[in-house]
A = this chain, B = another copy of it.
Amino acid sequence: MKGVRDQLEIFLEPESIAVIGASRTTGLGSFNIFENLVKSDYPGEVYPVNPKADEILERKAYDNIKDVKSEIDLAVVSTPRTAVVDIVNDCEELGIPAVIVIAQGFSDAGEKGKKMEETLTDIVKNSNTRILGPNTLGVQNYYNRLSTAFFPVQERIWKSISDWKSVGLVCQTGFFFRGVPGVYFGKVIDIGNSCDIDHLDALKYFKEDSETELIFLHIEGIDRGKEFLEFAKEACKEKQVLSLKTGRSEKGSAMAASHTGSMTGEDRIYDGVFKQTGITRISNLRELEIFTKSYLNFPKMEGNSIAVLTTTGAAGIITADAIEEFGLKLANLSNETIETLESLSPEWMDIKNPLDMWPAMMIGGKGIEETYGKTLNSVLEDDSVDGVVSIVPLGETPDEDPEVLEQTVNSLNYLLQKHEKPVAAWLIHEKADTRRGKELMKVKNLAVFDNIKDAVKALSFSRNKLGGLKNEI
């Protein structure tokens, strides 16, 4: 019998797929899994099974999975729940290694459903067949453009995913498939009600998967707690693991239990599990965005001493507050750095960190490029500085000159590539995902954030970074 990794691999890299319960309704808004697979760039074979159809999208339709004859790696079962048990029995008899059960209405829907789900578990016990689901959207894989979701994944989504392709996701919901604001996933395994494949299996797959560097676990509840805990400890030594445990509140916990039939447990137990294993617990989807951005763009920050470069003293104060809040500290700058700043600033100015560059630019008559460039270079060269917060409207001109932006990106790249220190930037007047923000994200070791708090939080996360550097992913 194959190991878990091999079996999960067949789910994510099948060479042939049968869609059982393939719909005859095609076109916009039809939620047709078979159609999505056929019209996508997925390179394998796809067979429709539907006794009511002769052909679907000009491909021969089969009455039964047993009629297909060709070797099937993955069966996607998209029928009403009452038909599922017989179909999974057939799949198991045929030796199909991977079965995804899309249908809802199992342990997510009362006693009758729960019994049906137990039957599914029994069918594949000690067999070569594994089940993902029920109540799942299945899998998604950027690398072979495979998605078993019922909505088509447009090319623009795959394109967005490309920067995030090293992020792997285990979830109990389909809403992550197309990404959440600011984050996409290269590989997705939706375990649904996890009648067979569960968080532990999926984590085992991602731990070994060379295409995945950062693992995100969406958890409503976990089965096999003790084994999960032991294995997660090992996984966290090799790869960074983030987790969002939902159902923290009383109502939320009860709902999670009924949503996917999960053992939700008390929230503080999960706190303990995360602490013991080294999994980073995130509190909400926004933290997912911040931490993922930090991981993908920052090198590991070697200490907790931060230099702040700003064009506004007030923002420097807000940054100092955030630095304390997230357990970092303001760097004690070297005399050399201080002297560089003094040479740029008016005589009355007392140079200290946060470095307010405005008087140098306004009164000292130095342009923003010169002042910022020299200051940034000084703090990057300064051994007492581990990371930088930059509160400056980088690359901005009154007439939004694209050449200035390009020059800014180039000179930042020149400065930043010489050091392995993270620079978290806030552009003051705009959010991170403007054209300017996106261009600046191309700078090595630099990332742009929507606000000061997020920038500092991201730096603090890079303190514990394991492996992986931007551009090497």
Q: Which of A258, A321, A398 has the most CB of B within 10 A?
A: A321
Partner of A104, one of B256, B286, B354, B363: B363
B453 in contact with A324 (CB, 8 Å): no
Q: Which of A184-206 contact B (CB under 8 A)?
A: none
> Is the CB of A220 closer than 8 A to any CB of chain B?
yes
Would you call the interface of chain A mostly helix, strand, loop, or mixed? loop
> Is the CB of A99 closer than 8 A to any CB of chain B?
no
> Is the CB of A316 closer than 8 A to any CB of chain B?
yes
Q: Which of A227-256 contact B (CB under 8 A)?
A: 246-252, 255-256
Q: Which of A81, A181, A311, A350 has the most CB of B within 10 A?
A: A181
A175 in contact with B248 (CB, 8 Å): no
Task: Fill in one digit per residue for A302-321: 1 if any B CB lies within 8 Å of its CB, else 0.
Answer: 00000000011111111011
Known: A314-B171, A317-B259. A431 touches B182 (CB 8 A): yes
Q: CA A105 – CA B313 in complex, angstroms?
A: 13
B314 in contact with A346 (CB, 8 Å): no
> Is the CB of A278 closer than 8 A to any CB of chain B?
no
B109 in contact with A181 (CB, 8 Å): no
Q: CA A430 – CA B251 in complex, angstroms?
A: 27
> Is the CB of A468 closer than 8 A to any CB of chain B?
no
Interface-lining segment among A146-154, A378-386, A408-416: A146-154
Known: A154-B398, A312-B175, A314-B220. A249 touches B80 (CB 8 A): no
Q: CA A160 – CA B348 in complex, angstroms?
A: 37
> Is the CB of A265 closer than 8 A to any CB of chain B?
no
Q: Chain B residue with minimal CB distance to A399?
A: B28
A252 in contact with B321 (CB, 8 Å): yes
B312 in contact with A349 (CB, 8 Å): no
In the assembled complex, which residues on chain B have CB atoms less than 8 Å from the CB atom of A247?
317, 320-321
> Is the CB of A22 closer than 8 A to any CB of chain B?
no
B313 in contact with A451 (CB, 8 Å): no
Q: How many copies does the complex hold?
A: 2
Q: CA A161 – CA B161 in complex, angstroms?
A: 34
Q: CA A409 – CA B237 in complex, angstroms?
A: 49
A35 to chain B, nearest CB (A): 11
Known: A28-B397, A286-B453, A321-B252. A314 touches B429 (CB 8 A): no
In the assembled complex, which residues on chain B have CB atoms less than 8 Å from the CB atom of A314?
171-173, 175, 218, 220, 246, 259
B452 in contact with A284 (CB, 8 Å): yes
B453 in contact with A284 (CB, 8 Å): yes
Q: CA A61 – CA B203 in complex, angstroms?
A: 74
A249 in contact with B324 (CB, 8 Å): yes
> Is the CB of A336 closer than 8 A to any CB of chain B?
no
> Is the CB of A467 closer than 8 A to any CB of chain B?
no
**8 pairs of A and B residues whose beta carbons are closest in the complex:** A173-B314, A249-B324, A252-B320, A175-B312, A252-B321, A259-B313, A181-B431, A109-B348
Chain A interface (Cβ < 8 Å from any Cβ of B): 28-29, 31, 80-81, 104-105, 108-110, 112-113, 150-152, 154, 171-175, 178-182, 218, 220, 246-252, 255-256, 258-260, 284-286, 311-318, 320-325, 330, 346, 348-350, 354, 358-359, 362-363, 367, 397-399, 428-431, 433, 450-454
27 pairs from A and B in contact (CB 8 Å cutoff): A28-B398, A80-B363, A105-B346, A109-B349, A110-B350, A154-B398, A175-B311, A175-B315, A178-B429, A179-B429, A181-B429, A246-B314, A249-B320, A249-B324, A249-B325, A251-B323, A252-B318, A252-B321, A252-B324, A255-B316, A255-B317, A255-B320, A259-B314, A259-B317, A284-B322, A286-B453, A286-B454
